[in-house]
């Protein structure tokens, strides 16, 4: 088998955006299969590789619940075939999933007319926990379809076998991102929001950057966050982690957290693959 064959296994909670993700990957040139039972993964991928498809995206989810126990075994089989395999898991907060089902008026695939949506979500989380443990997780709570497509483009573009660092800014007022491995709280830093001229800007704009660079505690915060990461990243790499998400939060996710994420990403970009995500920025 060709080592160039790239496989993205897409899983996650129903209502978390898998259909949008699969269409986005198809637009990026991936040959997509939806709801393939896990035992068929090695055979399907081998046949498609022989037919000349170098990029494959395959959705594996709770609709094939009976086959999930064997998922790790079949994932290992793909790796042994020489495929470049990445697992992507989409999830969202329960309240968001319930709202999405209410708005779409669709039934949950696990309900069978007997369970409530909330009961189905709890059951599905339990069923998929083994897949989530080996996946890169994206929390789609509050994300627009455009943001999700942009994040997927970044994810699909990665080709390095080194651990990828994802630096993500967020606002505490909208809750913690569930996909974060490290969380740094920048709310203790001086807030540009209280300057009327800086309020409409973000941490990517030079006036805000100049304001924060002039504050000694901001530099200290970034230096200590860098030190923490430099100390512990090798341990995660030895644990064969493919992705590590570092989240920095402030009150609204507009100024301090955005600036800190940009600075940390620049520091580590020279030594590791890096992705930047600004959760509260619609076009970032």
Q: What is the pLDDT of residue 252?
A: 97
Highest mean pLDDT among 93-107, 119-133, 252-266: 252-266
Task: Kindly list the distances between the CA atom of residue 177 and the CA atoms of 59, 65, 253, in Å, as whole numbers in the listed order.
Answer: 23, 27, 12
Overall CATH class of domain 6-157: alpha beta
69 pLDDT more than 90: no
Residue 239 has phi, psi (to 5 degrees) of -85, 10
**Does the global pTM surpass 0.75?**
yes
Least-confidence region, from 76-90, 222-236, 240-254, 256-270: 76-90
Q: How confident is the model at residue 65 (pLDDT cuts 50, 70, 90)?
A: low
Which part of the chain is CATH 3.40.50.300?
6-157
Closest among 91, 27, 15 to 57, alpha carbons compared: 27
Q: What is the pLDDT of residue 283?
A: 63
For the chain, the average pLDDT equals 91
161 pLDDT more than 80: no
Least-confidence region, from 91-95, 156-160, 164-168: 156-160
Q: What is the pLDDT of residue 39?
A: 86
Q: What is the pLDDT of residue 193?
A: 97
160 pLDDT more than 70: no
């Amino acid at each position: 088998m060709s080592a160039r064959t790239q496989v993205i296994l897409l899983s996650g909670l129903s209502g978390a955006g898998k259909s949008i993700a699969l269409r986005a990957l198809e637009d990026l040139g991936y040959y997509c299969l939806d709801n393939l039972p896990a035992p068929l993964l090695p055979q399907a991928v081998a046949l498609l590789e022989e037919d000349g498809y170098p990029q494959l995206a395959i959705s594996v989810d709770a609709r094939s619940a009976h086959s999930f126990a064997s998922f790790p075994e079949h994932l290992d089989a793909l790796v042994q075939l020489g495929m470049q395999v990445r697992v992507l898991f989409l999830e969202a907060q329960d309240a968001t999933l319930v709202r999405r089902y209410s708005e779409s008026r669709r039934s949950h695939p696990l309900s069978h007319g007997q369970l409530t949506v909330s009961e189905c979500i709890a059951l599905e989380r339990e069923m998929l926990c083994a897949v989530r443990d080996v996946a890169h997780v994206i929390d789609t709570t509050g994300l627009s379809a455009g943001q999700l497509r942009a994040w997927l483009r970044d994810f699909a573009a990665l080709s390095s076998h080194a651990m990828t660092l994802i630096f993500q800014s967020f606002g505490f007022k909208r809750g913690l991102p569930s996909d974060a491995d490290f969380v740094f709280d920048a709310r203790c830093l001086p807030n540009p929001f209280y300057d009327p001229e800086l309020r409409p800007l973000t941490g990517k704009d030079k006036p805000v950057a100049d304001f924060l660079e002039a504050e000694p505690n901001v530099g200290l915060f970034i230096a200590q966050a860098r030190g923490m990461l430099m100390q512990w990243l090798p341990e995660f790499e030895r644990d064969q982690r493919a992705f590590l998400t570092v989240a920095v939060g402030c009150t609204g996710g507009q100024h301090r957290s955005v600036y800190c994420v940009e600075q940390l990403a620049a520091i580590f970009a020279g030594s590791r693959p890096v992705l930047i995500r600004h959760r509260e920025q619609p076009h970032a």
